[in-house]
Amino acid sequence: SPCRSPMPQPTIFVAATRQHVGKTTVSLALMSGLQKRFNKVGFLKPVGQQHLPVRDESGNQLRVDKDVQVMKEYFKLDHVPYSAMSPVIIPSGYTARYIDGEVSNEAQCAAIRRAHETISSGSDVVLAEGTGHVGVGSVVEVSNARAAAMMGAEVVLVANGGIGKAFDELEMNRMMFAHEGVRVRGVVLNKVLPEKVEYVRSKMGRLLEQRWGVPLLGVVPELSYLSKPTLAELEKALDGDLLAGHRCRTLHYGVENSFLVTTGLRRFLRRAFEQRSPSEWRRPLFVTHVTRDDLLLGYLAQHQRLMTAQGGAVDGPRDWAGAMVLSTGASKGFPDKEAFPDDTEPLTYLTQMAKDSNAPVLITRYGTLDALHIIESYTAKHSIHDTARVSAAVAHYEPNIDFDALLQG
C-alpha cells in the first residue's frame, strides 16, 4: 500500500468481527496490562465515527472519538497529545464529501501516518483501536485493514463467544487483513457463557493453531453488569426528562428487568413487590403510559416504603432502587390523531409526590412499546463519566488475557 509506514515500535491494532462485540472493553484491558509492562503506552483510534469536543493541552477545543477520551483520561496518557489520537473522524456527510472529491485519500493517509509517528516517537508500545467490523471505512478507503497496514500494525481480533459462528466471522475478517498484508497476532473471544469457557478455550484454541498458527489470547466469560446502561444513559436514549430521583442517574439497570406494565394496580403490586423480595429484584424498570395514575401512585407508595426500610440508601449491594418510565406518546403503529394536554404529564400532585420522595420517574415522548424497544435494544458504551463500569471491565477482562502470548507475537 502507498500509505504503509512501518514503525520500529510494535503497534497492536484491536479489531472486531462486527459492532458491539466488546472491542473497546478489550482495548481497555490491553491498555491496563501493557501499562504494567511498559513505561509509556501510546493510544490512537485512526478512524472514528462517534465524536465529542475536548480541550487539548493548550486549552484549545477539538473533536475526538469518544473512546479516545476514555483512554486518555482514565489511563492518564499525558505523553500522548489529543491532536494525534483521532486523526480521521467520519461525521455525517463525510462520505458524500469524499465521493465528491472534497476530501482526498492522500490527506487521510497523511493524517493517520503523522498521528502514528507522533505517538510512536514518545511511546514504548502503541495500542490502536479500530471501528466497527474490519471493513468499516472502506467507502472512504480507510477500512480497519487499510489503517492497520498504514501503521505497520499487527492485529488482535475480537469476536463474541462460541466456535462455529465465531470462527466463520473471524475468517472473513482475517481475509481482509490478509489482503492488506496485515498479520493477525491473536484472538480474544468475548461474552462466553461461563459454563462454556473451558470447552471453547480448548476447541477454539486448537482450531486457531491448526488453521492460522496463532494463539487464542483470551476467553472472557460474560459479565452482564457491563452491558447494563445507567439511568442517565437511558434518559438520553429516550430523549427523556428525569422528574426526580437524580441520585439514581449513575446506577445501572438491566434490560432483563425492564417491564411494560399493562395490568391493573393490584396485579402490578403483587407481581412487582409481593412475589419478589427487593434484594432479588433490586433495580426493575417499569414502563407504562403517563395516564396510568394508579400505577404511578402505587409505585411511589412502594418506593417510599422501601426507602424507609433501607434508610434511604440506593447504591448498596442489596438496596432496592426501582425506576418508572412514563410514556407520553403513542406507538408508531397506532398514532394519536391529536395529542391531549392531559396526556403529556402526570397529575400535578403525583409529580410533587415523586419529587418529595426523590423517586426516579422518567418522562419520555415515545409510546410505551417504542420506549421498551429502545431500552431493550440499547448497547451500553464506555464513558469517562462512568468510571465504575470502566474499572469493572478492566478488572474482569485483564486477568483473562494472556499477555505473554500477545507480546511473544
Check pLDDT > 80 for residue 294. yes
Mean pLDDT of 20-35: 92
- 133 or 30: which carries more pLDDT confidence? 30
Q: For all residues of the chain together, what is the average pLDDT?
A: 87
Q: For the segment 35-65, what is each residue's pLDDT rounded down to a tens digit? A: 999 999 999 999 988 788 888 887 888 888 8
Q: For the segment 299-322, what is each residue's pLDDT rounded down to a tens digit? A: 999 999 999 988 888 888 788 889
**Distance separating alpha carbons of residues 22 and 206, to the nearest angstrom:** 23
**Distance separating alpha carbons of residues 56 and 63, to the nearest angstrom:** 10
CB burial of 152-189 (b: ≥16 within 10 Å; e: otherwise) equals: bbbbbbbbbbbeeebbebbeebbebbeebebebbbbbb
Check pLDDT > 50 for residue 119. yes
Check pLDDT > 90 for residue 325. yes
**Confidence category of residue 6, pLDDT binned at 50, 70, 90:** very low
- Which pLDDT does position 50 carry in this prediction? 79
Mean pLDDT of 173-188: 93
pTM, two decimal places: 0.74
Mean pLDDT of 243-256: 86
Q: Are 300 and 291 in contact (CB under 8 A)?
A: no
**Distance separating alpha carbons of residues 390 and 226, to the nearest angstrom:** 9
Check pLDDT > 70 for residue 4. no
- Which pLDDT does position 223 carry in this prediction? 77
